[in-house]
Amino acid sequence: MKHFNAVPSRQLSCNNEALELPHPDSGVLPGGPPQYAILSHMWETDEITFQLLHDKAYQHETKKGWYKIQKSCDQALRDGLDYLWADTLCIDKSSSSELSESINSMFKWYRDSAVCYAYLSDVLPDGRGLEKSRWFSRGWTLQELIASGELKFYGRHWDFIGLKSTMLDQLHSITAIDSTALQGGSLRLLSVAQKMSWASRRQTTRPEDMAYCLLGIFNISMPMLYGEGSRAFIRLQEQIVREYDDQTLFAWVSSGHREGDQPTGVLATSPAAFACSAKFYPCQPRWSNEKQFDPITVSNRGVQFIVPARKLDPRDAERLGASRGYEVFHMQLACKEVGFDMKPRLRAGIYLTKRFGTGNTWSRIRPTQLPSFESWEKYEVKAFFALKERSPLQDLVLRGKQQRQ
């Protein structure tokens, strides 16, 4: 049974192709919110926007972007629905408040729709080329695939491909998304790292959208600040720290490119860092029966941890790339890799080193590694304030090293 919170305030009438506020009596459920269809697609050239739809002199019916709108309206009427919502023409993107509200509500709108039509314009009849469709590589379509209950796939010429409910194995093979999530199961039961991994190979046109398209999956709201670039993904992770007790957020590895092993923050710069993290799950700390430590917190000083850690021998620290005389700790994370063989796994860890060798501010070092924390290792419970992201000075040093190479 669906639990309706809100429906899009502006929808396209399938009967007269005008944007309307649906009448309450248009719903299938007596006294309930209006039932509507919703479109999932890839943005292309010649899209019909909110402003163009209201321009009486604009011949939108002749434009390429109108085809999927018209086909969606026709299909909605055949499915007994009077209204359609599509992001191209139902959001006034000139209004920052409306755009922010829409992005924060979009997961709910797809979840509460009567049916979602996924239009894959690059898929041939009979579903040929489905697994290579760009629809599976776009950031925004991730939440649309997961949130929609009744989801129908259509190809280039509006050829019916199939239903999500009958394509679960194929969709899992293409996307690596857990079948529980595809079938509408609770996303809270899945680790932060696993959900991040679903977006690791997806892309968005604007860097900010790589964070904004994940808001619904993590059930988080935050203001839209277009122009902040990849800083949006840092803000998303800060909110996750506040909402989730899940240290798999820190179980990521950098790309391994030239800057891969340089000191950095404990928060990832993009979902791509979680490409190999899907199998990490939170675990109860072994010392929890003895003492409960404070939760991880985030502030303007960084991310604070109170965790088991082992100080490395100075020679081992230098081999990891730490400056001479700088302390390096192997910090334990309360998470471990889970495999189908059910063999016991060791907890993951990360290396931290002093930032500039002073104070209690730390950077992550060797972010290309998630070293296991051996059960025999002697540790101390230590408090760290770790940088959230690479500092401007570290970036300056990195650029200097690259120029000398």
157 and 260: one domain? no
pLDDT of residue 373: 84
| CA pair distance 280, 190, nearest whole angstrom | 10
Pick from 156, 185, 214: which residue ends a domain? 185
Residues 159 and 37 placed together within one structural domain of the fold: yes
User: Do 169 and 266 share a structural domain?
Assistant: no
Please check whether residues 260 and 113 belong to one and the same domain: no
356: alpha, beta or left, given left = phi > 0 and alpha = psi -120 to 50? left
CATH number of the domain that residue 45 is part of = 3.40.50
Q: Is 389 left (phi over 0), alpha (psi -120 to 50) or beta?
A: beta
Same domain, 25 and 168: yes
Tell me, yes or no, whether 212 lies in a domain. no
Residue 116 lies in a domain: yes
pLDDT of residue 379: 86
> Within this chain, do residues 180 and 246 fall inside the same structural domain, yes or no?
no
- Position 87: which residue type? D
Asked whether residue 222 is assigned to any structural domain, the reply reads: no
| Enclosing domain of residue 51 | 11-185
Q: Look at residue 221 and tell me if it is in a domain.
A: no
What does the alpha-carbon distance between residue 191 and residue 334 come to, in Å, rounded to a whole number?
12
**Considering the domain boundaries, does residue 204 fall inside one?**
no
Residue 109 near residue 36, CB atoms below 8 Å: no
Single residue among 166, 185, 204 that ends a domain in this structure = 185
Considering the domain architecture, whether residues 178 and 246 belong to the same structural domain is answered as: no
Q: Are residues 32 and 174 in the same domain?
A: yes
Same domain membership, residue 172 and residue 261: no
Indicate if 73 and 152 belong to the same structural domain.
yes
Does the residue 299 lie in any domain?
yes
Q: Is 130 part of a structural domain of the chain?
A: yes
Q: Which residues of 290-327 are buried (b: 16+ CB within 10 A; e: fewer)?
A: eeeeeebebeeebbbbebbbbebeeeebeebebeeebe
CA distances from residue 9 to 96, 102, 104 in whole angstroms, order as listed: 16, 10, 14
Q: What is the pLDDT along the chain (405 residues), one digit of tens a residue?
A: 444 456 787 899 998 877 776 654 454 444 566 799 999 999 988 888 888 888 877 777 778 899 999 999 999 999 999 999 999 999 999 999 999 999 999 999 999 999 999 999 999 988 889 999 999 999 999 999 999 999 999 999 999 999 999 999 999 999 999 999 999 999 999 999 999 999 999 999 999 999 999 999 999 999 999 999 999 999 999 999 999 999 999 999 997 555 556 889 999 999 999 999 999 999 865 555 545 567 899 999 999 999 999 999 999 998 998 888 889 999 999 999 987 666 667 889 999 998 765 578 999 999 999 999 876 678 899 999 999 998 655 554 544 554 444
- Asked which of 185, 202, 222 is the last residue of a domain, the reply is 185
User: What predicted TM-score, i.e. pTM, was given to this entire model?
Assistant: 0.89
Q: Domain for residue 190, yes or no?
A: no
Do 43 and 149 fall into the same domain? Answer: yes
Whether 168 and 301 map to the same domain: the answer is no
- Let me know: does 252 contact 193? Beta carbons within 8 Å: yes
For the chain, the domain total comes to: 2
Query: What does the alpha-carbon distance between residue 357 and residue 324 come to, in Å, rounded to a whole number?
Result: 10
Half-sphere exposure of 184 (CA within 13 A, CB side): 13
**pLDDT (0 to 100) of residue 395:** 53
